[in-house]
Amino acid sequence: MDDRRFSLMVHGGAGTLDDARQRAMGDAWRAAIGTVLAHGRRLLERGDCAVEVVEACVMLLEDDPLFNAGRGSVLNEAGAVEMDAAIMDGRDLAAGAVAGVHHLPNPVALASRLLRDNGPVMLVGEGAMRFAAQCGITQVSDDYFLLAERLAQLEQARAGQTTMLDHVEAAPADETGKYGTVGAVARDIHGHLAAATSTGGLVNKRLGRVGDSPLIGAGVYADDETCAVSATGHGEDFMRCVIAKTIADHVDMQGLDARQATRAGMDYLLRRVRGRGGVIVIDHHGNCASGFTTRNMIHGWIEHGAEAVVRL
Ligand code: ASP
């Protein structure tokens, strides 16, 4: 029987923001996350599948230049956009992922196409772009992505000879960057789970560098038997801890709920690699949880169909 009480969570990146930046951007981020949650609610209420809803939510976030994904993607060391995205359906563990793609307004839509095609789970670089062309997916010119703020941010990272995540202003000495990846997890009224994550990666990242976001089990995971997870933060830390699957394993093997499993996952991330970032998690009962080791994470949720909550 359908449990009409759906749940939905979205994030717009974890990181460290100083108070001035938080004040300046807070309303815009709050409004953007609120809009995406409201859209997701409409889809879930009318009975859409979780996998369709997370794709739709991530596409909205990719279209918004406030976030480091799609249009607002940060630039790599060559001053170019290289995006990664993945999506997973908890019903049958179907998944699709793309890495190192460019000229696509919505990388998650290409990942979703792979998920539906039931062939390779992941395509990278030119192979992914060729697949996009074969699918007739619209491509856009560089002007769509090369936003003034991103160019300035790249100069800042180059001057400091560092890579940066997307939201760090006055970062503590051990936090060197800003995080702005986007993601969504959902449980639909039929009880199914799904997750999607999309990113431009790190500012000034090495050409060809791929983070955790498109890696199943690291930056994204969904299984109806356990939970759905989307991560944001320093990708190398999440990859080494296989964080999304680690959280799912805590639900599976120890019977933990979303909150307990998230806490266990974040403890592991900190203990083993001093990992920086966060996750959003919905377990198979629809319980929502978030955890982050940075000072902030832009995120929001609707738990069991209740009022939307947004946190920065
Ligand atoms: N996880 C992403 C990466 O490492 C970055 C982010 O979350 O902002 O590519």
- 312 residues of the chain, pLDDT tens digit each: 456 689 999 999 998 777 777 777 888 999 999 999 999 999 999 999 999 999 999 999 999 999 999 999 999 999 999 999 999 999 999 999 999 999 999 999 999 999 999 899 999 999 999 999 999 999 999 899 977 777 777 777 777 766 766 665 444 434 444 557 999 999 999 999 999 999 999 988 999 999 999 999 999 999 999 999 999 999 999 999 999 999 999 999 999 999 999 999 999 999 999 999 999 999 999 999 999 999 889 999 999 999 999 999
Residue 181 known to be catalytic:
yes
Ligand 1 neighbourhood includes 90 CB (under 6 angstroms): no
**What is the token pair recorded at 283?**
């377990």
Q: What is the pTM of this model?
A: 0.93
In angstroms, what is the span from residue 47 Cα to ligand 1's centroid? 31
Q: Which of 16, 163, 181, 262 is catalytic?
A: 181
In angstroms, what is the span from residue 115 Cα to ligand 1's centroid? 22
In angstroms, what is the span from residue 158 Cα to ligand 1's centroid? 18
What is the rounded distance in angstroms from the CA atom of residue 218 to the CA atom of residue 241? 7
Check if the beta carbon of residue 131 is closer than 8 Å to that of residue 54.
no
Find, among 22, 73, 84, 71, the residue nearest to 230 by Cα: 84
Atom of ligand 1 nearest to the CA of 200: 9
Find, among 231, 220, 227, the residue nearest to 11 by Cα: 231
The per-residue pLDDT for 153 is: 77
The SS3 assignment for 120 reads coil
HSE of 307, CA atoms in CB hemisphere, 13 A: 2
The SS3 assignment for 228 reads strand
The per-residue pLDDT for 15 is: 83
**What is the token pair recorded at 275?**
């990992």
Ligand 1 neighbourhood includes 232 CB (under 6 angstroms): yes
Ligand 1 neighbourhood includes 235 CB (under 6 angstroms): yes
Check if the beta carbon of residue 278 is closer than 8 Å to that of residue 233.
yes
Distance (Å) of CA 102 to CA 111, 114, 127, 220, 227: 13, 17, 12, 20, 31
Atom of ligand 1 nearest to the CA of 166: 8
What is the rounded distance in angstroms from the CA atom of residue 12 to the CA atom of residue 73? 12
The per-residue pLDDT for 160 is: 72
What is the rounded distance in angstroms from the CA atom of residue 134 to the CA atom of residue 128? 10
The per-residue pLDDT for 167 is: 60
The position carrying tokens 């760090």 is 168
The position carrying tokens 């296989």 is 242
The per-residue pLDDT for 171 is: 45
